[in-house]
Amino acid sequence: MNLLAKIYVTLKGSVLDPQGAAVTHALHALSYDAVRDVRIGKYMEVTLSATDETQAHELVRGMCERLLTNPVIETYTYELAEVEQ
Amino acid sequence: MNLLAKIYVTLKGSVLDPQGAAVTHALHALSYDAVRDVRIGKYMEVTLSATDETQAHELVRGMCERLLTNPVIETYTYELAEVEQ
């Protein structure tokens, strides 16, 4: 079966986010004063094939922990959905 | 009211994604041969205050189109949810 994993990676709450601070500043400069805070993360779409959902979950967790995220400063969530073809 | 906008930015399908290709290659090097394709996007959490949801939608669309995305090569979706405090 073919699956699409949508992976969302965010910095842990206690970790400083200078990129988010820069975007907040830029939004204020554009008069978006309603903006309180911006946190920047990553979003990844991974297309993969697996024999079943259990194997797919294992694969996605493994690649997140080994390559896609830095578990010291980041957390991740993901969604798995079957796709055609 | 205080709202959290979760914004997902992705490259348009026709746009080459060299970062995604590099990640695909790295995953194959780690023996994740089941991976077919990786597309890398951005994920942003924007906390903002607004008088009502309509104004919040307008604000989020405005900042996405003016600063947060490049409409030539990227598309975006977002979710808005009310938050405490």
Task: Indicate the domain borders of chain A.
Answer: 2-83
| A39 CB neighbour count, 10 Å cutoff | 20
| CB atoms A41 and B44 under 8 Å | yes
> Looking at the predicted complex, does its ipTM rise above 0.95?
no
Q: Which of left, alpha, beta for B75 (phi over 0: left; psi -120 to 50: alpha)?
A: beta
Give the per-residue pLDDT at B66. 95
Q: Looking at CA atoms only, how far is residue B13 from chain A in angstroms?
A: 12
Superfamily name with CATH number, domain A2-83: Phosphoribosylformylglycinamidine synthase subunit PurS (3.30.1280.10)
Chain B residues in contact with A34 by the CB 8 A cut-off are 48-50, 59
pLDDT tens-digit map of A34-84:
999 999 999 999 999 999 999 999 999 999 999 999 999 999 999 999 998
At B55, the pLDDT band (50, 70, 90 cuts) reads: very high
